[in-house]
Amino acid sequence: MNIILLGPPGAGKGTQAKRLVEERGMVQLSTGDMLREARTSGTAMGNKVAAIMDAGELVTDAIVIGLIEEKLQGDIGGGVIFDGFPRTLAQADALSEMLTRNGQTLDAVVAMEVNDHELIERITGRFTCAKCGAGYHDAFKLPAAEGVCDVCGGTEFTRRKDDNEESLQTRLTEYYKKTSPLIGYYHAKGQLAWVKGLGSMDDVAGDIAKVLDA
Ligand code: ADP
Ligand code: ADP
Ligand code: ZN
């Protein structure tokens, strides 16, 4: 089954996607992760998008659609979790076309609802393990042993350059202006399911499981 996790920055898309990968053998396709990887490896595309990402604006539809198209040609046996894609109506149309072309379907769009106050708190406290990418939070999810990743034992952590209040304001505006129209788009197609993003990570995971198993 193929699903979209839809929600503003900090809603918990990445956190829940990683759980679905663990629990259901699905494949996480995060355009944010792909773009950050392109930056780290210094590709021409990575260099082109760096300033846009740091400012919190959306990169062009053509770039992210190209990234997803490439991935959909690989092995996606257990199904795909689209995390952070689509973010515009043009991307949603392109996704629908790519899936149809590959004989695949979109089975659910899970919209995660979290208020701005909580989003700001989540984003400004977010950090990840530099080695394995496991996600943490200064207040909500510290590693069990201070300074040591629960998952891989790594001791280096990173914070995203765009996880500051100024970029976040732009990212929220971009979300409400360009991405939130997707809620109506998928609702009209009968594919939208709301999940309260405010509960604990376990509660949210339980609510998502109910949607996927319905
Ligand atoms: P978040 O955790 O805030 O939801 P992501 O890691 O998904 O953020 O994305 C980080 C940045 O990468 C975005 O602010 C944007 O600049 C770019 N980006 C990621 N996905 C897309 C997309 N589908 N369309 C346009 N830009 C994207
Ligand atoms: P997104 O991918 O939607 O931008 P993340 O999954 O990276 O969001 O979550 C943002 C931050 O909030 C991370 O530091 C994560 O550990 C934390 N977080 C995620 N889900 C919850 C939750 N249900 N309760 C509290 N904190 C959470
Ligand atoms: Zn780790």
pTM comes to 0.96
pLDDT level of residue 76 (50, 70, 90 thresholds): confident
Ligand 1 pocket test: pick from 13, 60, 87, 173 the residue with the most ligand atoms within 8 Å of its Cβ: 87
Task: Give mean pLDDT, residues 122-146.
Answer: 96
Q: Are strands 108-113 and 27-30 parallel, antiparallel or unpaired?
A: unpaired
Mean pLDDT taken over the chain: 96
SS3 3: strand
Tokens read off for 135: 């996600």
CA of 34 to the centre of ligand 1 (A): 10
pLDDT at 77: 77
Q: Is the CB of 135 under 6 A from ligand 2?
A: yes
CA of 70 to the centre of ligand 3 (A): 27
Q: Is the CB of 195 under 6 A from ligand 2?
A: no
CA of 56 to the centre of ligand 1 (A): 8
- Nearest-10 crossing angle of helices 165-174, 44-55: 100
pLDDT digits 0-9 by tens, 25-68: 999 999 999 999 999 999 999 999 999 999 999 999 999 999 99
pLDDT at 74: 76
pLDDT digits 0-9 by tens, 80-108: 999 999 999 999 999 999 999 988 999 99
Among residues 2, 5, 143, 199, the alpha carbon closest in space to that of 32 is found at: 5
Task: Give mean pLDDT, residues 6-32.
Answer: 96
Q: Is the pLDDT of residue 210 over 80?
A: yes
Q: Is the pLDDT of residue 75 over 80?
A: no
Share of the chain above pLDDT 90, in %: 95
Task: Give mean pLDDT, residues 125-148.
Answer: 96
Residue nearest to atom 11 of ligand 2 (CA): 122
d(CA 14, CA 29): 10
User: What is the 3-state composition of the chain as percent helix, strand, coil, each rounded to the nearest 5?
Assistant: 50, 15, 35
Q: CA 27, 31, 35 angle in degrees (round to 5)?
A: 125
